[in-house]
Amino acid sequence: MPTYDYVVIGGGTAGSVIASRLTENPDTTVAIIEGGPSDIDRPDVLTLRRWMGLLGGDLDYDYPTTEQPRGNSHIRHSRAKVLGGCSSHNTLIAFKPLPSDWDEWETAGAEGWGAVPMEAYYARLKNNIVPVDEKDRNAIARDFVDAAQGALGVPHVDGFNQKPFSEGVGFFDLAYHPENNKRSSASVAYLHPYLDRPNLHLMLETWAYQLAFDGDRATGVHVRTKDGEEILVEAGREVLLCAGAVDSPRLLLHSGIGPRADLEKLGITVRHDLPGVGENLLDHPESVIVWETDGPIPENSAMDSDAGLFVRRDPKGRGPDLMFHFYQIPFTDNPERLGYERPAHGVSMTPNIPKPHSRGRLYLTSADPEVKPALDFRYFTDEDDYDAQTLVDGIKIARRIARTEPLAGWLKREVAPGPGITDDEALSEYARKVAHTVYHPAGTCRMGAEDDELAVVTPELKIRGLTNIRIADASVFPTMPAVNPMIGVLMVGEKCAEMLGGDAR
Ligand SMILES: Cc1cc2nc3c(=O)[nH]c(=O)nc-3n(C[C@H](O)[C@H](O)[C@H](O)COP(=O)(O)OP(=O)(O)OC[C@H]3O[C@@H](n4cnc5c(N)ncnc54)[C@H](O)[C@@H]3O)c2cc1C
């Protein structure tokens, strides 16, 4: 029975940070249990622009959603099965969460997680966070930026992380190495340089299937290795659950930690009744508008969605309430199911809901750990219809931008939803039915105050009612940041490492 001071379950975005920081102290031993293989010598993984090739492939857990009566039931949630986790799979758009995002966490009971104390963790990140390089700035994306600025009067932002913003358009910051388009993922930045540390033990292609306890104290985790051997990996100090917003609650539920009635219904022995596990499932849904361009567009790009726009419709709001990615490709995967065609050459704008009101739920349908959990995002089910209206407003704003030069001159015709669809009801129907995810599930083990019955972890990331076990990944988010979440996850990792007393400098 191998024993380490810390057992990190999931060598993904947050898990890589924590294991790296803890092993800076040579006297601290750490094992990483990672379900996927290494990303080393894998150009298909390490080359940022190849990200789309990973969707639905061997390195993707590929979770379906349940039937979404008001949304798109065909959405597949990619979750990466490889060292570095989703940071080895994603587009590496790098946004420091806005001060209003962190302050919202603090208001939700996450004491100590407000904007002022969180600032320090951004400064510590080891990832190479840089603006999209000049050579990667495609002419049509530049013209999108100018057209959006002209049409809406929003500021042109060069460096979204330099100061807080509530609106603006520009090229993103990315965590990448522009000279060779290599990812600066969590594994590249936090693990690759330190793999020779004798106190860091990597168990790859190894699946954690049940947590081990002595009473309320976590003692380790039962895993199945690459060769099918089942062993218990013991943690002398703590178990750190970093398996992500789908797999962290999944492992808790299979270990008897979750809502009592749900567990009993499936015949799972209840270890600890914790009703919040799997609740508060958040995401950033977005829709899509597609144009055919007048011929091919230039090829250069960092990852085909290098620029974006933030709009604040509510002047009283602290942050943006509508976001757009601009894709230099015709992103028609979902519209095609409704009968739309994919033009040979085209671009897309994707209106996105920074602060969605709908809340979903993750739950088990079987006691068999092999069966994937159910993900019911309850997209567009909020009572005030805020989420759907955000997308409707987004399509109208996108059309204003498309009519404005210098972008207008590139565009031949609107392919989807098409110029004939103009009234709010029809736009809403279209926007919801072709909605996709930008793969930001979060919130399923949310952090909250010690006495919050529905919180899963305390502000120290400790699981309420248990000892020697914390969770650190996107599942602990109490609310969704208005911006893309990866940097927030890395910062959760840094703060967790500091709380554990690692030499986090
Ligand atoms: C295609 C895609 C594009 C995205 N684009 C962006 C973007 O541009 N910018 C942005 O900010 N965010 C983006 N995101 C979201 C962002 O990547 C995630 O929110 C973040 O990386 C999640 O980090 P995590 O630590 O919570 O989980 P992960 O990084 O997913 O780590 C979980 C790890 O745990 C492992 N694991 C899970 N269960 C087990 C188990 N039982 N046993 C052993 N190992 C296990 C997994 O293999 C994985 O390595 C994107 C995500 C995807 C998938």
pLDDT exceeds cutoff 80 at 502: no
Report yes or no: 17 and 124 within 8 Å, Cβ to Cβ.
Answer: no
Residue nearest to atom 3 of ligand 1 (CA): 90
pLDDT exceeds cutoff 50 at 505: no
According to the model, what pLDDT value does residue 501 have? 86
Work out which ligand 1 atom sits closest to the CA atom of 84: 49
**Of 77, 272, 284, 440, catalytic:** 440
Q: Is 434 annotated as a binding residue?
A: no
Candidate from 86, 98, 251, 254 with most ligand 1 atoms within 8 A of CB, to mutate: 86
How large is the average pLDDT for residues 118-142? 98
Strand partners, 238: 6
- Give the fold, CATH level 3, of 1-50+77-126+184-282+442-505: FAD/NAD(P)-binding domain (3.50.50)
Distance 61 CA to ligand 1 centre (A): 10
According to the model, what pLDDT value does residue 398 have? 98
Say if ligand 1 is within 6 A of residue 440 CB.
yes
Percent of the chain with pLDDT over 90: 99
DSSP 463: B
Work out which ligand 1 atom sits closest to the CA atom of 441: 19
According to the model, what pLDDT value does residue 504 have? 38
pLDDT in tens, 422-481: 999 999 999 999 999 999 999 999 999 999 999 999 999 999 999 999 999 999 999 999
> In which band, very low, low, confident or very high, does the pLDDT at 503 lie, cut at 50, 70 and 90?
very low
Distance 150 CA to ligand 1 centre (A): 36
Report yes or no: 201 and 33 within 8 Å, Cβ to Cβ.
Answer: no
User: Mind spelling out the 3-state secondary structure of 254-289?
Assistant: HCCEECHHHHHHCCCCCCEECCCCCCCEECCEECCE
Say if ligand 1 is within 6 A of residue 348 CB.
no
Say if ligand 1 is within 6 A of residue 90 CB.
yes
**Tokens (6 digits) for 405:** 């030069």
According to the model, what pLDDT value does residue 1 have? 76
Q: Average pLDDT, whole number, for the chain?
A: 97
- Asked whether the whole model's pTM tops 0.85, one would answer yes
Find all residues with CB under 8 Å of 181, minimum gap 6, and list them: 47, 48, 49, 302
Say if ligand 1 is within 6 A of residue 481 CB.
no
Q: Is 192 one of the catalytic residues?
A: no
> In which band, very low, low, confident or very high, does the pLDDT at 272 lie, cut at 50, 70 and 90?
very high
Say if ligand 1 is within 6 A of residue 208 CB.
yes
Residue nearest to atom 23 of ligand 1 (CA): 13
- How far are the Cα atoms of 81, 131, 356, 364, 408 from residue 205, in angstroms, in the given order? 9, 34, 35, 23, 49
Distance 79 CA to ligand 1 centre (A): 6
